[in-house]
Amino acid sequence: VSSALGRVLVVGTGLVGTSVGLALRDRGVEVRLADLDPQALAVAAGLGAGVPARPGDEPASLAVVAVPPAVTGQVAVDLLTSGRARFVTDVASVKTAPAAVVAQAGAETAARYVGGHPMAGREVAGPRGARSDLFEGRPWVLCPSGSDPAAVDQATTLAILVGAMPLVMSPADHDAAVALVSHTPHVMSALVAARLVGAPDHEVRLAGPGIGDVTRIAAGDPALWTEILTANAAAVRDLLVRVRSDLDAAVAALDDAALGSTEALTDLLRVGVAGRGRLPGKHGAGHEDFVAVPVRLEDRPGQLARLFADIDAAGVNVEDLHIDHVPGRAVGVVAVSVRPEAEAPLLAALQARGWRVDD
Ligand SMILES: NC(=O)c1ccc[n+]([C@@H]2O[C@H](COP(=O)([O-])OP(=O)(O)OC[C@H]3O[C@@H](n4cnc5c(N)ncnc54)[C@H](O)[C@@H]3O)[C@@H](O)[C@H]2O)c1
């Protein structure tokens, strides 16, 4: 387990970058900060997220690119080729587009990059909204594509140090998944909220927490979301086409209900209940439903990355994670929490790949 990071350079000290800096400082990691906007840099430094980078700085062991998605790939390439950082990861909400930009810089450069996406955020932009516990217990997706295992190990360590749960996916799988759980919901939320514009005051005044829940994410920054939706347009578009036919079915179900036949309407609502039940964490199944599988790790680079890749190859979803170091010995124990039905397949898969699984 490489539980320590050398110096980290955070480029882009907005909401996410500053939150990364704050969380790393809490864990005693040395953090340097950079931003095109001197104001954002000063605020982040003032909050204690790290100290501003200086021209003569030694190269960082890891740079975290936390700038808008459209410029993420280019900023990563600049860092990799300028020698300012040995390894580079990022936090952009889309993964195929930045990976393609980095790949154009050549395989040797791309090997020192691994894309990342913390599944945590807020509707406010800028460093003032940053929180050191933003990533606590949240998934942090890593998307190696041609990445050196040491790069994946650094990004994995970063995710764990800030309290997140790293998991490995291909860039394409990541983009399809976030189209379903984040990008399409954002469009739906914006459409519901848009109905309120121009509605008479006496109607809007009756709004309660329900519409507040449904429209919370619609408050996100339109410029950032335009970039995100543009970079993942194909996947979101396909889902919206399916939602469009669901809307037609809902209209027909209401017409039927008005005529006394409510079956289709109730069915539609039941499917909604079932879909919500699939949400992990506190929305659906409780953590008490998980089983912890303890895996022994040798203390050398690349171990965590290899473990996560093997868990991923086994098709098992990590629900929670905990790392214990064995005092005075160069080993650690990673407790990987999974759903009960995944315990046996995970044990078998890890043993087959040579892991020491304590039971
Ligand atoms: N906001 C969220 O909820 C959320 C969640 C997960 C991931 N992300 C991703 O995190 C990244 C940052 O989002 P944010 O919400 O922190 O945005 P933000 O607007 O709060 O911060 C972005 C910062 O990047 C700086 N910047 C822009 N171009 C730069 C460049 N070329 N070099 C250096 N600095 C530059 C800006 O000055 C700004 O301070 C985005 O890629 C976004 O997709 C956001």
- Give, using CA atoms, the residue closest to atom 17 of ligand 1: 14
User: For ligand 1, is residue 49 a contact (CB within 6 Å)?
Assistant: no
Confidence bin at 235 (pLDDT 50/70/90): very high
User: For ligand 1, is residue 93 a contact (CB within 6 Å)?
Assistant: yes
**Range with lowest mean pLDDT among 104-108, 157-161, 247-251, 347-351:** 347-351
Distance 12 CA to ligand 1 centre (A): 6
Residue written as token pair 């039941």:
270
With a cut of 80, say whether residue 35 has pLDDT above it: yes
**Range with lowest mean pLDDT among 28-32, 272-276, 298-302:** 298-302
Q: Where are the alpha helices (DSSP H) in the chain?
A: 15-26, 38-47, 69-82, 96-103, 107-110, 149-161, 171-178, 184-194, 201-204, 209-215, 222-231, 233-258, 263-277, 303-313, 340-352
Integer Cα distance of 339 and 102 in angstroms? 36
Mean pLDDT (the chain) is 92
Confidence bin at 308 (pLDDT 50/70/90): confident
Query: Which tens digits make up the pLDDT trace of 169-213?
Result: 999 999 999 999 999 999 999 999 999 999 999 999 999 999 999
Query: Which tens digits make up the pLDDT trace of 8-17?
Result: 999 999 999 9
Confidence bin at 288 (pLDDT 50/70/90): low
pTM (predicted TM-score): 0.79
- Identify the pLDDT of residue 327: 53
- Identify the pLDDT of residue 1: 38
Please give the structure tokens belonging to residue 254.
Answer: 């209401």
- Identify the pLDDT of residue 2: 45
With a cut of 60, say whether residue 19 has pLDDT above it: yes
User: For ligand 1, is residue 89 a contact (CB within 6 Å)?
Assistant: no
Q: Which of 90 and 327 is assigned the larger pLDDT?
A: 90
Confidence bin at 69 (pLDDT 50/70/90): very high
Atom of ligand 1 nearest to the CA of 122: 3
Integer Cα distance of 245 and 240 in angstroms? 9
Integer Cα distance of 344 and 256 in angstroms? 47
Q: What are the backbone dihedrals phi and psi of residue 342, each rounded to the nearest 5 degrees, phi first?
A: -90, -10
Confidence bin at 3 (pLDDT 50/70/90): low
User: For ligand 1, is residue 35 a contact (CB within 6 Å)?
Assistant: yes
Distance 14 CA to ligand 1 centre (A): 5
How many residues make up the chain in this entry? Answer: 359
